Chain A
């Protein structure tokens, strides 16, 4: 196949198939001062894509707070880095792999994990944990069951093999994701606070290397495809295949190389492969790069410069070394059996120049490719008022309790996380199933706390408040474990930005998130935006997913999300910290009875939220509580039941007089947690709650019994065996998957 000429690209509008609009093409011509050839047009196409340039979201992302004394590296690098004290730091980032996972779920999820892993170790950090935030349609659908099973297998397939534990995350199910599942992967790494490595190509004359896997034709146009609607219609050839074994060797070799001090800059070849890695590294350094493509190791014969530049073959890195120290790299890579090729050098002319067969095949200003990429102020619709609906009390308390616990979003996720190696590296103090995961810093009495969260129902009902809640929930998980929150990363999964109402959701959600980040002192240090999450013209509910990081000094202080069996059996009182609320607006209960999200998003007050977080850390410090669990989806009823199921104790719960029974049980008002406390700890707890001005109410108690009773003013509201709650909670997902198999035979 002959590549189109520059004139053909213009006259036949070939640039459109490369992802450029007519106006963008005109801009390319202006920046170059001539017509781009096919290679150049392709490079502009991917770098100016939504995925690489953030052109629709950039003006809004600027509103996030990104600094603070704890921030060592904010957005703009491969990952954010925060200080955790004692000379140590944590690098972390979350990234979406939604579209690839919708087409080929196993490889899509696996390569998502591999990609985020490389972003972390390129910072000079030793990766220590993965978390995954997943969204699927309802499990009554065969395609969804297939996607769910394969995505989970793919995450495990990659993460287990590279030897990094998957310690947390969440899975939620809603009809909104039926045609467009979400796969957001987060990686966390540890490094010395003064050991950050950046993705910059500095030092004129320094050599540039490609290391790792050979370049093949896989994934060409993955970046443009990531921003396109209905990926199923695209060719499956865009799917990349991950090789975790090679990924592990590459990680070890790169960490060893970084430790040698010979590395000037290093970057993963992620979306848009060699194109984005080279352009971004040159852009950060304010310089240029010259690359001789004949030297790129290829997997297939006859690859063109266009294909080499746009390939998304996995497990490849671009490394700039200090001139004269190349032998250090060769020795390390040889020992790991990895390929390394010297493909060019750093220049100071500000241009990305590509040479093939002795000819210059592309020559473009780096600034035009990256810094001067188009930025759009897309039209934003007027805000819409949350609808006013009466939520019928049509589901009685007992049935509602079972329905909430057996809703796959709430139900036990053991099916998922027991397929992940959650303990490799032998530093996992608290793993999946806890409010936050805790991973020890080796050799220190210190652990990193981490959690992900993001409930799209709230954002759909009220984008701004929903954005606040997304941050508050993730950060609250850390505080509930007794950790001090430090910073967040995020994935903003939204629909088509060309629709003004979607831009309204994005803009408002960002405002809400920014407000929460400020109130909770957790700046945004890294993140990713995934737009065009739609299927057949229908957009997903807006889904900002937040990954939060904190630190706990002294692991003995940690709070489990449920007490041990022995402590529960000895008798513990349950207390509610935070507002007493009986509104069903925005709740899972509301969605269950109305079949869709209804009302406004639940109550949140960021000042109250902050006081609760401070109180929880203080409680952990005094060891007044045996366990703490935050109140989220499913309300107090779900929080208490989860605690009882985990510790195997029944108990008694009292609904305050004057409160609506259903509302009190299932309200999802924010800023709340349930704590289990020894009876003699009540005084300490009251003193602390008063000191932090957090409302405190006794909920009831845990008892060594198989019975659970809920009363109001002495009258029985629900009486149910613990086993019934447990069955609903533990069997929901396995049964949904089994029912599927049986259903297919009918």
Chain B
């Protein structure tokens, strides 16, 4: 059994209005960061998973993302997975 370190990011799909991102963008402009555009705010999750192989662990993480960690109706996700070095 191997252990993998997983970082998951979840954010709203481009078609969905993100009022938090919008508010932060306005604030950045207010503070003079005029070049700041397209601010989107999402979630970051960190977890470890175990699996016989990396492929198996990846499959498990993808299922988690699709079923629980994100809602495909409004969100999209990405993840990174690395085997932990003991």
A, B from the same assembly:
yes
Chain A residues with CB under 8 Å of B26's CB are 741
| A1 within 8 Å of B (CB atoms) | no
Chain B residues with CB under 8 Å of A745's CB are 29-30
A498 → chain B closest CB, angstroms:
41
Chain B residues with CB under 8 Å of A741's CB are 26, 30
In the complex, the chain A residue whose C-beta lies closest to that of B32 is A745
In the complex, the chain B residue whose C-beta lies closest to that of A745 is B30
Interface of A, secondary structure class, is helix
| B73 within 8 Å of A (CB atoms) | no
Chain A residues with CB under 8 Å of B29's CB are 745
In the complex, the chain B residue whose C-beta lies closest to that of A742 is B30
B26-54 vs A, CB cutoff 8 Å, 1 = contact: the mask equals 10011100000000000000000000000
In the complex, the chain B residue whose C-beta lies closest to that of A741 is B30
A744 to B32, CA, bound (A): 10
Chain A residues with CB under 8 Å of B31's CB are 744
B11-39 vs A, CB cutoff 8 Å, 1 = contact: the mask equals 00000000000000010011100000000
A741 to B26, CA, bound (A): 10
A242 to B84, CA, bound (A): 32
In the complex, the chain B residue whose C-beta lies closest to that of A744 is B30
A364 to B26, CA, bound (A): 58
Chain A residues with CB under 8 Å of B30's CB are 741, 744-745
A744 to B33, CA, bound (A): 13
Q: What is the total number of residues of chain A having a CB less than 8 Å from a CB of chain B?
A: 3
A741 → chain B closest CB, angstroms:
7
A744 to B27, CA, bound (A): 9
A732-745 vs B, CB cutoff 8 Å, 1 = contact: the mask equals 00000000010011
> Which residue, B29, B30, B31, has most C-beta atoms of chain A within 10 A?
B30
A741 to B31, CA, bound (A): 10
Interface of B, secondary structure class, is helix
A54 to B60, CA, bound (A): 56
A716 to B62, CA, bound (A): 76
Q: Which of A700-746 contact B (CB under 8 A)?
A: 741, 744-745
Chain B residues with CB under 8 Å of A744's CB are 30-31
A690 to B69, CA, bound (A): 70
A745 to B34, CA, bound (A): 11
A408 → chain B closest CB, angstroms:
22
A156-182 vs B, CB cutoff 8 Å, 1 = contact: the mask equals 000000000000000000000000000
A694 → chain B closest CB, angstroms:
52
A741 to B28, CA, bound (A): 12
A744 to B28, CA, bound (A): 11
A114-151 vs B, CB cutoff 8 Å, 1 = contact: the mask equals 00000000000000000000000000000000000000
A178-192 vs B, CB cutoff 8 Å, 1 = contact: the mask equals 000000000000000
In the complex, the chain A residue whose C-beta lies closest to that of B30 is A745
B20 → chain A closest CB, angstroms:
13
B7 → chain A closest CB, angstroms:
23
In the complex, the chain A residue whose C-beta lies closest to that of B29 is A745
A741 to B30, CA, bound (A): 8
A745 to B27, CA, bound (A): 9
A744 to B30, CA, bound (A): 7
A665 to B29, CA, bound (A): 45
A745 to B31, CA, bound (A): 6
A744 to B29, CA, bound (A): 10
In the complex, the chain A residue whose C-beta lies closest to that of B31 is A744
Q: Which of A339-374 contact B (CB under 8 A)?
A: none
B32 → chain A closest CB, angstroms:
8
A535 to B26, CA, bound (A): 32
A745 to B29, CA, bound (A): 8
B52 → chain A closest CB, angstroms:
29
A741 to B23, CA, bound (A): 11
B21 → chain A closest CB, angstroms:
17
B34 → chain A closest CB, angstroms:
11
A50 to B24, CA, bound (A): 41
A325 to B41, CA, bound (A): 50
B69 → chain A closest CB, angstroms:
18
B37 → chain A closest CB, angstroms:
17
A483 to B30, CA, bound (A): 50
A189-215 vs B, CB cutoff 8 Å, 1 = contact: the mask equals 000000000000000000000000000
B31 → chain A closest CB, angstroms:
7
B29 → chain A closest CB, angstroms:
8
A119 to B9, CA, bound (A): 39
In the complex, the chain B residue whose C-beta lies closest to that of A746 is B30
A28 → chain B closest CB, angstroms:
45
A153 → chain B closest CB, angstroms:
13
In the complex, the chain A residue whose C-beta lies closest to that of B26 is A741
A402 to B30, CA, bound (A): 31
A436 → chain B closest CB, angstroms:
36
B17 → chain A closest CB, angstroms:
20
B35 → chain A closest CB, angstroms:
16
A608 to B29, CA, bound (A): 58
A143 → chain B closest CB, angstroms:
15
A436 to B70, CA, bound (A): 44
A190 to B83, CA, bound (A): 55
B84 → chain A closest CB, angstroms:
18
A21 → chain B closest CB, angstroms:
46
A145 → chain B closest CB, angstroms:
13
A745 → chain B closest CB, angstroms:
4
A739 → chain B closest CB, angstroms:
13
B15 → chain A closest CB, angstroms:
28
A392 to B81, CA, bound (A): 73
A632 → chain B closest CB, angstroms:
36
A743 → chain B closest CB, angstroms:
10
B27 → chain A closest CB, angstroms:
8
A741 to B29, CA, bound (A): 11
A741 to B24, CA, bound (A): 12
Q: Which of A573-611 contact B (CB under 8 A)?
A: none
Q: Which of A482-497 contact B (CB under 8 A)?
A: none
A637 to B38, CA, bound (A): 49
A179 to B26, CA, bound (A): 27
6 contacts between A and B (CB under 8 A): A741-B26, A741-B30, A744-B30, A744-B31, A745-B29, A745-B30
Q: Write the residues of chain A forming the contact surface with B, with a CB cutoff of 8 angstroms.
A: 741, 744-745
Instruction: Report, nearest first, the 5 A-B pairs whose CB atoms are least far apart.
Output: A745-B30, A744-B30, A741-B30, A744-B31, A745-B29
